[in-house]
């Protein structure tokens, strides 16, 4: 015991000697000064392949892993075939090929802890959910140890070139899709988001959703047709990062995908969306003890030059977590909801959505709705304060600096930008815009891009329990659920 005490005293003495009083007091964090943050773009190589596929590559030998991310552009199927894009991508992976049946793929990949996956919706770039058929691309991803790359590429190549689409697998997936549709009204947040999209996008693929009728009508021939229309390498964009060289991965992919043939792909032009801001009040009756509130209007295009000032504005309004006005007022000050926020979405092929949302106790639904509308109007008329502006810009810049910490993330972003038709140096341009942004820029964006007189107000819940009738906000249109 004495020995331990003596060692502790020696350590304390050593610390005191190393930190003499003359070193001065420790500064408060608010007094610290730091150099300006900068972001050096990560070098990458552009790739071309024998089958017409293009892409990007970042070499990374830190760990023996290879990541591949691919986007294959597609068009939305006809409205009566909504759900076909997702069914096709699922059937390719889960139906397998003659050489690689799905069961064998699963066993081999599980044994080596690797993945080869197909998905609709372009890796989260587009609206998600069972009911939305807005996919403009299907995604393909591979993750494996370097030693297992050849195996994964063999599987990938055979799936892309020779899928078999077993009838029983397609019917199995359809049964799952139908069960999802039958349950979708159980989620009040999902109901609110689905119905808001239908109101704001109208009869546009961005708002189409799978129904029992559309799913039941899908056939194996439809899946085969959709695959034949769009699954070709000459429109695909791939991003590769990991423990290989450029020459190695180019040769390996050329060999593995040699059976995947290019073809003329006719992508349908994206239907136009009429940019208008018509106010409306909508109510969906559900037997809940809470009110789900969704307030919004159409957002912006990803190529809009004011995307960054609008993002800063939204950070202050409701996107900045606990520091934002909506969260602070509705959650912290009033104690009406655990979650209250806003998003100002952008879309590269049309318009995203601006949405402010909260879920509160039923007897506070009117109060919470009024608070959110007032905060949107206040932001529109006055914009953020200087302090709010500076904190928002600092947060955005800090986040952007770490965009290059993942090589896989870098190539995924490059693939996304190319697919969307955006400049490959968008991240660097955004950082420059942030560095030169002024408070007046953000105030002008708030005045132009927020439309408090054109809000769609949608509430899901039991109006008999609300503190105010929905008619308090205007003429109510009742939405009947299927």
Report yes or no on 174 lying in a domain.
yes
The reply to whether 329 and 419 lie within a common domain is yes
The reply to whether 298 and 388 lie within a common domain is yes
The reply to whether 212 and 288 lie within a common domain is no
Mean pLDDT lowest for which of 27-31, 140-144, 190-194, 297-301? Answer: 27-31
Domain that holds residue 366: 280-478
Q: Around 434, how many Cα atoms within 13 Å sit in the side-chain half-sphere?
A: 27
pTM of this structure: 0.87
Short-list 434, 352, 338, CA closest to 394: 434
Distance CA 11, CA 424 (A): 54
Report yes or no on 57 lying in a domain.
yes
How many domains does the chain contain in total?
2
Widest distance between CA atoms in the chain: 84
Report yes or no on 330 lying in a domain.
yes
- pLDDT tens string 330-358: 999 999 998 899 999 999 999 999 999 99
Distance CA 401, CA 419 (A): 23
Residue by residue, DSSP assigns 262-298 as -----PPPPPP-------EEEEEE---SEEEEEEEEE
pLDDT score at 403 = 76
- pLDDT tens string 37-68: 566 778 999 999 999 999 999 999 999 999 99
Report yes or no on 265 lying in a domain.
no
Residue 416: alpha-carbon gap to chain centroid: 11
pLDDT at 4 over 50: no
DSSP-H helix ranges across 113-270: 149-161, 167-183, 188-201, 212-216, 220-230, 246-256
The reply to whether 175 and 303 lie within a common domain is no
Q: Which of 200, 222, 256 is the last residue of a domain?
A: 256
As a whole-number percent, the residues of the chain with pLDDT over 90 amount to 83
Report yes or no on 220 lying in a domain.
yes
Distance CA 44, CA 240 (A): 10
Q: Which of 198, 222, 256 is the last residue of a domain?
A: 256
> Which DSSP helix (H) or strand (E) runs through 59?
strand 54-59
Residue predicted with more confidence, 123 or 224: 224
- pLDDT tens string 66-109: 999 999 999 999 999 999 999 999 999 999 999 999 999 999 99
CATH number at residue 173: 3.30.830.10
The reply to whether 179 and 291 lie within a common domain is no
pLDDT score at 322 = 87
The reply to whether 248 and 285 lie within a common domain is no
Short-list 347, 251, 334, CA closest to 299: 347
Distance CA 452, CA 356 (A): 12
The reply to whether 467 and 433 lie within a common domain is yes
- pLDDT tens string 268-320: 888 999 999 999 999 999 999 999 999 999 999 999 999 999 999 999 999 98
Query: How far, in Å, are 84, 155, 157, 206, 224 from residue 215 at the CA level?
Result: 8, 29, 29, 18, 15
């Amino acid at each position: 015991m004495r020995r331990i005490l003596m060692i502790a005293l020696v350590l304390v003495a050593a610390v005191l000697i190393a930190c003499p009083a003359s070193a001065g007091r420790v500064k408060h964090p608010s007094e610290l000064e730091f150099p300006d943050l900068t972001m050096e773009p990560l070098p990458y190589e552009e790739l071309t392949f024998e089958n017409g596929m293009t892409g990007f590559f970042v070499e990374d030998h830190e760990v023996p892993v290879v990541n591949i991310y691919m986007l294959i552009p597609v068009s939305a199927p006809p409205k009566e075939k909504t759900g076909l894009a997702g069914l096709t991508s699922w059937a390719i992976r889960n139906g397998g090929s003659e050489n690689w049946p799905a069961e064998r793929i699963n066993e081999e990949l599980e044994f080596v802890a690797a993945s080869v996956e197909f998905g609709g919706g372009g890796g989260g770039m587009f609206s998600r959910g069972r009911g939305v058929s807005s996919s403009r691309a299907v995604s393909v991803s591979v993750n494996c140890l370097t030693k297992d790359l050849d195996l994964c590429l063999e599987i990938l190549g055979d799936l892309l070139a020779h899928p078999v689409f077993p009838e029983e697998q397609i019917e199995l997936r359809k049964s799952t899709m139908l069960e999802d549709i039958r349950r979708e009204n159980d989620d009040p947040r999902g109901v609110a988001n689905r119905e808001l999209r239908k109101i704001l996008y109208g009869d546009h693929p961005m708002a189409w959703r799978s129904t029992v009728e559309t799913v039941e009508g899908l056939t194996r021939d439809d899946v085969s047709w959709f695959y034949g229309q769009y699954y070709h390498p000459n429109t695909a964009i791939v991003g590769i990062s990991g423990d290989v060289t450029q020459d190695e991965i180019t040769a390996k992919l050329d060999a593995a995908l040699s059976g995947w043939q290019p073809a003329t792909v006719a992508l349908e032009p994206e239907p136009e969306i009429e940019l208008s801001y018509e106010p409306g009040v909508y109510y969906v009756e559900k037997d809940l003890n809470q009110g789900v509130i969704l307030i919004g209007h159409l957002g912006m295009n990803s190529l809009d030059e004011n995307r960054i000032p609008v993002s800063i504005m939204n950070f202050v309004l409701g996107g900045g977590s606990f520091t934002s006005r909506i969260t602070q007022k509705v959650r912290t000050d009033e104690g009406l909801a655990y979650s209250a926020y806003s998003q100002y979405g952008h879309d590269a092929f049309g318009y995203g959505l601006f949405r402010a949302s909260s879920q509160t106790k039923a007897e506070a639904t009117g109060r919470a709705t009024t608070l959110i509308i007032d905060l949107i109007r206040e932001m529109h008329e006055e914009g953020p304060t200087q302090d709010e502006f500076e904190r928002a810009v600092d947060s955005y810049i800090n986040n952007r600096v770490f965009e290059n910490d993942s090589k896989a993330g870098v190539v995924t972003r490059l693939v996304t930008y190319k697919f969307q038709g955006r400049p490959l140096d968008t991240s660097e341009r955004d950082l420059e815009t942030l560095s030169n942004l002024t408070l007046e820029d953000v105030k002008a964006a708030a005045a132009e891009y927020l439309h408090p007189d054109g809000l769609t107000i949608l509430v899901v819940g039991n109006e008999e329990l609300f503190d105010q009738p929905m008619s308090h906000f205007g003429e109510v249109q009742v939405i009947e659920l299927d």
